Amino acid sequence: MNILFLSAEAAPFVKVGGLGDVAGSLPRALAARGHDVRLALPGYGAIDWPRFAPLHRAVFDVPRRGGSDPADLWETSADGVPVYLITGPPIPKDSRIYGGSIDEDAPKFVFFSLAALEGCRRLSWRPDVIHANDWHTGPAVYRVAADRRDDPFFRTTATLYTIHNLPYTGRGAGRILAEWDLRTSPHLAVLPEWARDSMLGIGLATADVLTTVSPTYAREIRTPEGGHGLDGALSLRGDRLHGVLNGIDVDTWNPATDAAISSRFDVGALEQRAANRTALREEAGLEPDDRALVIGMVSRLDFQKGFDIALPALRRWLDSGGQLVLLGSGDSAIEREVATLEIGWRGRASVRLRFDPPYSRRIYAGADAILIPSRYEPCGLTQMIAMRYGAVPIARRTGGLADTITDVGDPGGTGILFDGYDPSSLVHALDRALSVYADGDRWRELQRNGMTKDFSWDRSAAQYEALYREALAYRRDATGPADGGD
């Protein structure tokens, strides 16, 4: 299949969050399965242009109401995947990627979405499937659906639209959407009024197939608690909505080869892991205490990540002799709060407020357990990395955490799950962890089970491939939700 993959970010070109990881890995996994996958990204000034040395491939106009914007398409590649960088007046030439307001971002991402489509036409490369991601690329999904009838080039092209994090909708974009003729389809009727002015909404209403990044999150977002106002629309489109778990790059996240950790190990030599805990204690400034269980946290400090329930539980944890290594950055109020743990329990709690990937690897390799008490979690990568590194995840049973971690009480257990979003449920989970830890064999079994689970992208790529075929079948049957611009 010819697959055009659209994303606002992708490693190694430009990465702000998890979307960048996915868009960096999934196209490669699809290409390895024999597809002609091409990735399109905004050609931000923030990209290291000399390093990637893109070639100029096309210049064209992207029409909008009352005028047009000129676009340039540049081509480079990443691990054999062709990558198109789109530049033009709305794409910032400085270091900005995401701006501070929808007025700044909507023109940028509408232009990018539509220019990527136009670029395919100029290169005479017709995608069978357009795989668009998150609110930034909703306009491409809408445009293909709305123009199908009059546009022979994209007539048979199917669209798959992935929601990585539902609350980010790109709302308030009505004026810009109108300027680019992106608001008139009758299919938008599934949306609440406010969402018709959102970039995510117009994609969600018109895609042939919708996905999100875990089966549990796909169910949760159809409920009022998890739907952020879009549960009605997602329920109406429920037969088209699927959950596909993200993977991790198992080559770069590999404790047997990781150059950042002090003692490399694999599931057959788990005893070599212990040296990493000693080294971590030393690096983090924790007292040597071989009886204490070391909990690690590697997280954005954000409302989503559950620090309001974690803090009271962690104070109790530290009082009762546990240890904690925390690495995170983000919300300044949460930063201030977590910093008090190190001050209150010096030698037992270590808090580093920065973004530090090498140090995160030493935490995954050295901590006994990794705590992930998220309020909601579309997929989550931390728990998969933790399991790959033999750190037992202690996590809330929500979204992708529920789908990737098997509780110790179930066959093939890999971690400890808790349900309630409150400190006492978390305290109870920590107590359970301690009792399993006291039984060394049981703990090692959890570690082994986690380390041998398949978190590779190939598994996800196979599922996307099946859904691309489903989307194409909707096109062939012309029973798609938006089989015309009517």
Contacts to ligand ADP by CB under 6 A: 17-18, 298-300, 327-329, 355-357, 360, 380-382, 385
Which residue's CB is nearer to ligand ADP, number 11 or number 178?
A: 11
Q: Which CB atom, from 114 or from 327, has the smaller least distance to ligand ADP? A: 327
Residue nearest to ligand ADP (CB): 18
The least CB distance from residue 250 to ligand ADP, in Å, is 13
Please state, in angstroms and as integers, the Cα–Cα distance from residue 477 to each residue in 6, 281, 429, 472, 474, following that order: 25, 60, 50, 9, 5
| Closest approach of ligand ADP to the CB of residue 19, in Å | 8
CB of 300 to ligand ADP, least distance (A): 4
What dihedral do alpha carbons 244, 144, 195, 471 form, nearest 10°? -30
> Distance (Å, rounded) from C-alpha 83 to C-alpha 317?
48
Taking the complex as a whole, the smallest distance from the CB of residue 380 to ligand ADP amounts, in Å, to 4
Extract the tokens encoding 50.
């000399």
C-beta separation of 159 from 146 below 8 A = no
H/E run at residue 424: helix 423-437
**Minimum distance between the CB of residue 95 and ligand ADP, rounded to whole angstroms?**
20
Give min distance, CB of 327 to ligand ADP, in A. 5
Cis peptide leading into residue 12 (ω within 30°): yes
Query: CB-wise, 87 or 299, nearer to ligand ADP?
Result: 299
Minimum CB–partner distance for residue 30 and ligand ADP (Å): 20
Cα separation, 358 vs 244, whole angstroms? 28
DSSP code, position 304: G
CB of 360 to ligand ADP, least distance (A): 4
Position 159: which residue type?
T
319, 327, 325: which is closest to 276 by C-alpha? 325
Q: Which of 2, 164, 162 is nearest to 81 (CA)?
A: 2
Single out the residue of 176, 179, 174, 175 nearest to residue 188, CA to CA. 174
Separation in Å, CA 409 to CA 377, 402, 403: 22, 14, 15
CA distance 360 to 327: 7
Nearest-approach distance from CB 42 to ligand ADP, in angstroms: 20
Positive or negative, the CA dihedral 7, 184, 90, 62 is positive
d(CA 297, CA 369): 9
d(CA 239, CA 246): 21
Our CB check for ligand ADP shows the closer of 12 and 70 to be 12
Write down the H helix ranges in 157-198: 174-179
Which residues have a Cβ under 8 Å from the Cβ of 149 and sit 6 or more positions away? 155, 483, 484, 485, 486
- Least spacing, CB of residue 474 vs ligand ADP, in Å: 30
Q: Strands (DSSP E) along 204-254, which ranges?
A: 209-212, 241-243
The residue among 191 and 334 lying less far from ligand ADP, judged by its C-beta, is: 334
Please, what is the minimum distance in Å from the beta carbon of residue 280 to ligand ADP? 14
Instruction: State which residue, 181 or 249, has the beta carbon closest to ligand ADP.
Output: 249
* Contact assessment for residue 393 and residue 414, using Cβ atoms and an 8 Å cutoff: yes
Residue with smaller CB distance to ligand ADP, 82 or 380: 380
CA dist., res. 139 & res. 111, Å (int): 9
Q: How far is the CB of 34 from ligand ADP (least distance, A)?
A: 28
Give me the helices (H) in 76-172, please: 102-122, 138-147
Between 331 and 356, name the residue whose CB sits nearer to ligand ADP.
356
